[in-house]
Amino acid sequence: MNPFSLEGRRALVTGANTGIGQAIAVSLAAQGARVTCVGRRDCYETVALIEKAGGKAESLLLDLANPMAGQGVFAGEGYSILVNNAGIIRRDDSLSFTEADWDAVMDVNLKAVFFTIQAFAEAALEQDNTPAAVVNIASLLSFQGGIRVPSYTAAKHGVAGITKILANEWAAKGINVNAIAPGYIATNNTAALRADPVRNKAILDRIPAGRWGASEDIGGTAAFLCSPAARYIHGAVLNVDGGWLAR
């Protein structure tokens, strides 16, 4: 048996319409999973990429600004993989940061993560002897403070904590809960940084690998963490950052 195969598994990936989420969905499908691609906007492009490569996928509209939006999605549907990738960010000085911006980020990046996992786990535990895996997308700001992103930093620290507590509770029940902390990845969200010669150089000078990460770097890591090869990994927050935190 191929320990990296996801053949016969059903997965749900949030924020799968572009960037890291899209790469994760494509990577899971490449290993044999049937992938539900979730987004506030349709994920038809991701589904098309998967189907073109011979995989199986469907799109599901879900707005996780409502933290309870994932309730009722999993029951009886045979899901054994969940990747929580959807997230938003708000930037402002901490002295000026508003309650509305705080709540918006915390609802999507932390509260929705917990309650989506809860709904997934309730369904997964009803599938006797079926291994299940949760991968949360954390951040370098699960470890560092950042600047001008107080709610994002708090939420991503919270994602690391949720990952650990749920691993403690569910490891013996056949559910692996882990997280990935991406470094600086070349996506639409980082286009402005990469276009700024000063910021781009400062970032690259700090990364031992000497390059921006690719979304596929995160996709491959997620596929590994969902596979039987990672069955003894519980509660890890795995840095995929080109060595940034080791610097």
- Beta-bridged to residue 36, according to DSSP, are 12, 58
What pLDDT does 68 receive? 98
Half-sphere exposure of 130 (CA within 13 A, CB side): 17
What's the confidence (pLDDT) of residue 215? 97
> Per-residue pLDDT averaged across 170-189, rounded?
96
Tell me the residue length of the chain. Answer: 247
**Cα distance between residue 228 and residue 224, in whole Å:** 8
CA 80 vs. chain centroid, Å, equals: 15
pLDDT for 240 equals 98
The answer, as to whether pTM is greater than 0.75, is yes
Amino acid at 199: R
Confidence of residue 129 (pLDDT cuts 50, 70, 90): confident
Alpha carbon 92 to its chain's center: 24
Alpha-carbon span 140 to 203, nearest angstrom: 13
According to DSSP, the β-strands at 81-84 and 132-137 are: parallel
Q: How far apart are CA 17 and CA 37, in angstroms?
A: 7
> Cβ of 236: how many Cβ atoms within 10 Å?
17
3-class DSSP state of 36: strand
pLDDT-derived band at 14 (thresholds 50, 70, 90) equals very high
Q: What is the model's pLDDT at position 231?
A: 97
Average pLDDT rounded to a whole number, residues 19-45: 97
- Decide if pLDDT at 1 tops 90: no
- The model's confidence at residue 192, banded by pLDDT at 50, 70 and 90, is confident
Is residue 208 predicted with pLDDT exceeding 90?
A: yes
Q: Is 184 a catalytic residue?
A: no
pLDDT at 106: 98
Residues 6 or more apart in contact with residue 172 via CB below 8 angstroms: none
Domain parsing of the chain, residue ranges: 10-238
Q: Which pLDDT score, from 0 to 100, does residue 19 have?
A: 96
Half-sphere exposure of 2 (CA within 13 A, CB side): 8
Of the options 3.40.920.10, 3.40.50.720, 3.10.20.30, 3.40.50.150, the CATH number for the domain spanning 10-238: 3.40.50.720
CA 242 to chain centre: 18
Please state, rounded to an integer, the average pLDDT across all residues of the chain: 97
Residue 149 has a pLDDT of: 95
| Predicted local confidence at residue 128, as pLDDT | 79
The pLDDT score that the predictor gives to residue 42 is 95
Amino acid at the residue 141: L
Q: For 64-102, write each residue's pLDDT tens digit.
A: 999 999 999 999 999 999 999 999 999 999 999 999 999
- Is 35's pLDDT higher than 90? yes
44 contacts: CB under 8 Å, gap ≥ 6: 59
- The tokens describing 86, both together, are 């959807």
Spatial distance between the Cα atoms of 80 and 83, rounded to a whole number of angstroms: 10
Place of tokens 């994932």: 70
Q: 227 near 191, Cβ under 8 Å?
A: no
